[in-house]
Chains A and B, each alone.
Chain A
Amino acid sequence: MDKKITEEDVIKIAKLAKLELTKQEISRYSMELTEIIEYVQKLNTVKTTGLDPTVSVNGLCNISRSDQQIDYHQTPASLLGNVPRVKDNFIQVKRVIE
């Protein structure tokens, strides 16, 4: 099976991942991704009938907390402290165009 990751694929994925790639990068990622995806192709030769995908490697399930307020000892100021632009306690971002 041909598993070449074309430059078009790379452009499409970069768009999904919000990355801006130069022409050279697009061509390089096309090669690198192809190399890696070809390497992992051997998974498709493995018989896995009757097996479920792993969802919890250490077998835990039903881990939850009770519905109580938790004081994490954080102030809004400490959280907003890392925000590049704050306006009236809001996080300011470039305008969202619908």
Chain B
Amino acid sequence: MSWPKIESIVESLSSGQTTATENVKVALSNIKKNSQYQTVISTLDKEALERAKLIDLDILNNKKVAKLAGVPFIAKDNFLVFGAPTTAASNILKGFHAPYQATAIDKLESEGAICVAKANMDAFAHGSSTENSDFFVTKNPYDLERVAGGSSGGSAASVALDIVPFSVGTDTGGSIRQPASFCNVVGFKPSYGMVSRSGVIAMGSSLDTIGTFSKNIADTRYVMSIISGRDPLDSTTLDDSFKIVNKHQKMTLSKIKIGIIKEYLADDLNPDVKKVILSAINKIKRMGLVVDEVSIPSIDLALSVYYVLCPAEVASNLSRYDGQRFGYSYLEASNLEDSYLKSRTIGFGDEAKTRIMIGSYVLSSGYYDAYYKKAQTVRTKLINDFNQVFKNYDFLIGPTVPDVAFKIGEKSSSKLEMYLNDIMTVAANLVGIPAISLPAGFVNNLPVGLQLMGQIGKDNQLLDFCQEIEENIC
């Protein structure tokens, strides 16, 4: 079976056509059926069924049906979830049990949603293919020999494979949009601060955002309206006046102006992908709105800025994994220094180490101004340039990724080549704006994603517009 829209799932539940227990069982059996794709690291069979039972009981007793009652979902393994191991796909967190829970998970659970599994990912979200998972590689639903993308590859593939109606992931430099593009689902990265980061394992704290994978905009909106909002546990969350609402606001399309980011259509773009993107943009044009090419020259610097700031924050955030209080600990150490060295060296995978090394280098004495501070200043320039463009345009449009899903192992030889995969997604994280990847078509049966970006805090408008696109051209 295929999952209907989330609101219909909840309706079927309240009308007694199905039960939460049934939903959970379906989701769990979907995971088993699709095991060759290796989308999840762990399942919460017992906990999920217990929660489902309670929800079914509530419905039997005619209690108010919560907004996500009995809707199963999968969380990326960097969300702390009660009753489940949380590893961030890293050996250093093997066996770690969360004594507290992510705010986003709390909000979903309090509306009756049920977490059935933890999705595979690149360890600590470092990567664009889940090949950096310390455990296994998630396969692309459209081609088992190809990657699902990353870092939220497991979350994206789970929705693409219809295992669950929605999943949650994190996006620091494209980790939601890129796998969404590779897996043909809607992947939404909200404004920085729209969803609380509390209880989500940090990667680059000034870039990390929490978002969703789903099949359509309505479901994206429905789930985002529940998890967004100010959280007293996260000082960087936006005021509730920016909160995403579950209400589509009709737009006067003729008044909308869209900018195609010229730099994203340059030579690096796979020509077949370009065709798909331009054809999608043409369809949008036909909706009767203004579409112009715009240039943001400093966008070419985004990846450089990103690969200074992100590793610096990664190196800092991974300092707490030292083998002394949780996670992997080298117990045979001869002394404290040995315990630190061995716990971290054995516990972290290669990519984490690489990023820790880059980050420690750019923060080290004598280099801070040249790299970290300079990058944060260029970031200001990038923000200013985006603001300038947003004075004349409501939304920006372009491809999500320069190419379709690549083959497993294809890009393992060079780190830099792998990093270039993020070239079209990192800017939105640096600028803090909402961005989304929508299914746009195929190249040789492999999905292509169309990326749209809105202004910071105007997530509702971006979703309104995406809804129009979905209704008009899909």
Contacts and interface: CB of A to CB of B under 8 A. Distances in A.
A contacting B, Cβ–Cβ less than 8 Å = yes
Interface of A: 5, 9-10, 12-14, 16-21, 29, 32-33, 35-37, 39-44, 46, 48, 51-58, 60, 63-65, 72-74, 78-79, 81-85, 91, 93-97
Given A29-B354, A93-B339, A97-B336, A17 B416 contact: no
Contact of A78 (B96, B99, B334, B358): B99
A18 B92 CA distance: 14
B376 A43 contact: no
A40 B380 contact: no
A53 B206 CA distance: 13
A43 B356 contact: no
Would you list the 7 A-B pairs with minimal beta carbon distance, nearest first?
Answer: A53-B376, A82-B326, A57-B432, A84-B329, A78-B99, A94-B336, A63-B235
A21 to B, nearest CB: 8
Contact of A44 (B334, B358, B361, B370): B370
Contacts of A41: 304
Contact of B358 (A21, A33, A58, A74): A33
Contacts of A14: 357
B336 A96 contact: yes
A8 B340 CA distance: 21
Interface string B224-241: 000000001001101000
A53 B380 contact: yes
B360 A16 contact: yes
A58 B191 contact: yes
B95 to A, nearest CB: 8
Tell me which of A39, A60, A79, A84 has the highest count of chain B C-beta atoms within 10 A of its own C-beta: A84
Contacts, number: 167
B257 interface: no
A56 to B, nearest CB: 8
Given A46-B301, A54-B379, A94-B339, A63 B236 contact: yes
Contact of B383 (A57, A65, A78, A85): A57
Contacts of A58: 191-193, 236, 238, 432, 456-457
B348 interface: yes
Interface in B379-416: 379-381, 383-384, 414-416
B378 A46 contact: yes
A81 B97 contact: yes
A17 B432 contact: no
A53 B377 contact: yes
A91 B324 contact: yes
Nearest to A14: B357
Interface of B: 96-97, 99-100, 191-193, 206, 232, 235-236, 238, 298, 301, 303-305, 307-308, 315, 322-327, 329, 331, 333-336, 338-342, 344-345, 348, 353-354, 356-358, 360-361, 364, 370-371, 373-381, 383-384, 414-416, 419, 430-432, 456-457
Given A58-B192, A63-B236, A94 B96 contact: no
Contacts of A94: 333-336, 338-339
B59 to A, nearest CB: 27
Contacts of A85: 329, 331
A43 B305 contact: yes
Given A10-B357, A19-B357, A74 B415 contact: no
A96 B336 CA distance: 6
A12 B361 CA distance: 9
Contacts of A48: 374, 377-378, 380-381
B374 A95 contact: no
19 contacts: A5-B361, A13-B361, A16-B360, A16-B364, A36-B358, A39-B304, A40-B371, A40-B375, A44-B370, A51-B381, A52-B380, A53-B380, A54-B380, A57-B456, A82-B327, A85-B329, A93-B339, A95-B335, A96-B336
Contacts of A60: 193, 235-236, 238
Given A40-B307, A46-B301, 5 more contacts: A32-B354, A43-B304, A55-B376, A82-B325, A94-B338
A83 to B, nearest CB: 5
A5 B331 CA distance: 33
Contact of B415 (A17, A36, A56): A36
Contacts of B342: 20
B133 to A, nearest CB: 20
B375 A19 contact: no
A52 B304 contact: no
B378 A43 contact: yes
A46 B334 CA distance: 49
Contact of B379 (A53, A81, A83, A96): A53
Nearest to B318: A17
Contacts of A82: 96-97, 99, 325-327
A10 B361 CA distance: 9
Tell me which of A44, A73, A81, A82 has the highest count of chain B C-beta atoms within 10 A of its own C-beta: A82
Contacts of B322: 18
A43 B325 CA distance: 38
Contact of A57 (B307, B357, B431): B431
Contacts of B315: 17
B360 A17 contact: yes
A91 B364 CA distance: 30
